[in-house]
Every structure is written in C-alpha cells, then in structure tokens.
Amino acid sequence: MQEYKAGLLVIAPEDEGQQQNRRLQTILQQAIAPYETEVWRKAEAFTAIKQRRVLFVLNLGADGVNLEYQKLLRKIRTTADCLEGCVGAVLIDADSELYTKAVGRELVFAANQSGCVFPGKPLVEGTASLDNFLVQARNLQTDRMGAYHHAVEALLDRLMTFEQRLHRQPQILAVHASNRATSNTLTLWGKVKQHLEDSCRVQEISLQNGTVVDCNGCPYQTCRHFGETCSCFYGGVIVEEVYPAILDCDALVILCPNYNDAVSANLSAFINRLTALFSQVRFYEKAVFCLVVSGYSGGDIVAKQILGALNMNKTFLLPSRFALLATANDPFSINKIADIDQRAQAFAQNMLQQLRKEHA
C-alpha cells in the first residue's frame, strides 16, 4: 500500500503579469484551512517530490495563459519521475468560459506521466460565469458560488483521504473495436497481456462492426430510470455484456487506435453509453489504463481524451503512467519498433504494481 507523507502541498504557480484573482484566493484559503499546508508559488521551487498529496492550483486569467505554469509544465516534463508516488488534484479558475478543461487535461497528463496518481474527478474548474456549477447549485439548493465551495471542499477531501486499493488477483477488462487480422493496437495489447495473465484475470470485449449505437441523449430522468436496472434505452451488447463486465472489473484497459486525432467512433460510443450505468454507480475504485497507437502523431491528444472522459468525468482512478503510446502505421509494423517488447513489458509491470497486492 502506497504511503503518503503528512500534510498537503499546494503548487500554485503565480504569474506576476496576471491580475490578482481574489475569488480563487478566497475559495482556496477556505478549502485548505483544515489541513497542514505548504505552498509553492514559483516553478523554480519545484524539484522532484515523492509520496506527497499535491493540489495544483492555476489562475488562467482571461486569456488562458499563466507563464509560471508553463515553466512548471516544462519542469514536470523534463524531470524524470518527478512526482513518483504522489497523488494529485487540480483547481483551475479563469476569467473566461474557455481553457480550464484543456489546461487541466494537459497538466494531469504530464503529472501522470511523471508518476502521479489522480483519484476520480480530480479537477474542479471555476469558469468566469461559474455557469458550470448551475446543475450542482440546483441539486444542492444553493447558488453557483456555494456549489463551487462545496466542490473544492469535496476535492480536498478526496485528495487527503485517497488510498489506492490493491487486489490479490486483479480483474482486467480490455475493450477494443479493432480488427485482429490487421491491428497494431491489438498486437501491442498482446505484448502487454502476456505479462499479466499469470497473476490477473483478463477479459476482452470487442465492439466491432457497428454493434454499439451511440448514446441517445435521453433526458436525465429517463437515463436514470434505465440505469436503475443496469440497463439503457438501446440495450444490446453494452447492457448485456459491457455493463456487467465493467461492474466486475478492477481495471479497464481501452485499446485505442488514433483516428483523426481522436478515440475511434465505436469506443467513443462505448464511453458515452456508460452514462446510464454512471447515473447509478461511481467508479472511484476502478482504474483506467489505455494503449494508443498512432500512424503519425497525436497519441497524447487521444490519451488526454480518455483521461478527460473516464477519470475527470466518469470517476475512474487514473493510476500512475496510465497510457502506453506508440507510433506505427502499416499493419503489424508495431513489431518493427526496436524496444516495443521491453516497453510493453514495462507497462504491464507498472499495471501490476498499480493493481496487485504483492505476495498474494
């Protein structure tokens, strides 16, 4: 079990060219008050840290640019393993309706590649209008600011109480929509899977050939109604096969070829169709991993799409180094990448470290 040092580390890069953000200062002060806290405001202060509970706080102003954050991002990307054994959460406030989610994904992806774990729903955003809190405010019978305070307090609670659950024999569910006869992504998965099968139960589900219809976008009450019986408006393979397998698994692995710098349509439909199940169940105890193969470039965009959808929105835990990215275009050319077997093995070993109780 991962141990964390006591207290909270707040990393809040302060760009002197920006106007002060009193809303963010107020909300942060109130949320961190119960915890013993250390605050870093300059990227220069950032060195490799281990086993800390870290809250990243970003003021993006009106233009979405925080130059001190850019320096921090460079340090995170260039200092190997600089967040090893840490758990993170992110609070972003802006004087704009844009940028908060995109910057949040970028930061989480970089920190995760450097070893940081993120619990489900690790990002709270305050857009300029706080209209993103209208639904929560209605549910909590408060105003937008009240809902914002509530969300940040809950974020701190998730961060400060986080413990990663390990399993004697992890149940792994791999979901794909690829053709076994040609797919680089499935070939890469084969290289990873062979190192898991001795100590995990591995199930695979194929969502090929239009078996999955995209989400109908039913009204919330209708979606909830179907969700109560672990069902959905459309039924089919998603309800009969995928929902039970998701409920059963400890880790979901999504096998994603890069299609137009995005998750392919079948996999995207699968993620959208989790909404009915999500109306009943939260996935905080389940981990999400992904394999992304691009013909040319852009694997990071696809990985950020996965973490945005499944970790930030749908509450799956993001284990350290959740994504394996590779570049290969022609069928089976993945086999020609010189170190691909070692990379696949290292990825499988990391999965085991993130999921499995040792000496079971």
Ligand X SMILES: Cc1cc2nc3c(=O)[nH]c(=O)nc-3n(C[C@H](O)[C@H](O)[C@H](O)COP(=O)(O)O)c2cc1C
x/- contact string, 173-192, with ligand X (CB under 6 A)? -----x---xxxx-------
User: Tokens 């993620």 appear where?
Assistant: 271
Instruction: Tell me 289's DSSP state.
Output: E
Kindly state the smallest distance separating residue 103's Cβ from ligand X, in Å.
23
Among positions 37, 130, 261, 343, the unique one binding ligand X when judged by CB under 6 A: 261
Kindly state the smallest distance separating residue 205's Cβ from ligand X, in Å.
16
Comparing CB distances to ligand X, the nearer of 131 and 341 is 341
Rounded Cα gap, residues 284 and 277, in angstroms: 14
Give yes or no for residue 259 binding ligand X (CB under 6 A): yes
Q: How many residues bind ligand X (CB under 6 A)?
A: 18
- Closest Cα partner for 40 from 84, 71, 85, 81? 71
Give yes or no for residue 64 binding ligand X (CB under 6 A): no
Comparing CB distances to ligand X, the nearer of 197 and 330 is 330
Touching ligand X, residues 280-339 (CB under 6 A): 293-298, 328-329
Comparing CB distances to ligand X, the nearer of 86 and 326 is 326
Kindly state the smallest distance separating residue 337's Cβ from ligand X, in Å.
11
Comparing CB distances to ligand X, the nearer of 156 and 192 is 192
Instruction: Tell me 260's DSSP state.
Output: S
Kindly state the smallest distance separating residue 102's Cβ from ligand X, in Å.
18
Which tokens go with 85? 């054994």
Rounded Cα gap, residues 58 and 11, in angstroms: 9
Kindly state the smallest distance separating residue 253's Cβ from ligand X, in Å.
14
- Distance in angstroms between the alpha carbons of the first and the last residue of the chain: 13
Q: How many CB atoms are closer than 10 A to CB 163?
A: 11
Which tokens go with 360? 């079971």
Comparing CB distances to ligand X, the nearer of 297 and 349 is 297
Kindly state the smallest distance separating residue 326's Cβ from ligand X, in Å.
8
Among positions 104, 170, 257, 319, the unique one binding ligand X when judged by CB under 6 A: 257
42 SS3 class? coil
Q: How many CB atoms are closer than 10 A to CB 357?
A: 12
x/- contact string, 65-104, with ligand X (CB under 6 A)? ----------------------------------------
Which tokens go with 142? 């408060």
Contacts of residue 110, Cβ cutoff 8 Å, sequence gap at least 6: 73, 76, 77
At residue 184, what are phi and psi to the nearest 5 degrees?
A: -65, -40
Which tokens go with 285? 């105890």
Comparing CB distances to ligand X, the nearer of 78 and 296 is 296
Give yes or no for residue 258 binding ligand X (CB under 6 A): yes
User: Tokens 């340090």 appear where?
Assistant: 75
Chain contacts with ligand X (rule: CB under 6 A): 178, 182-185, 257-261, 293-298, 328-329
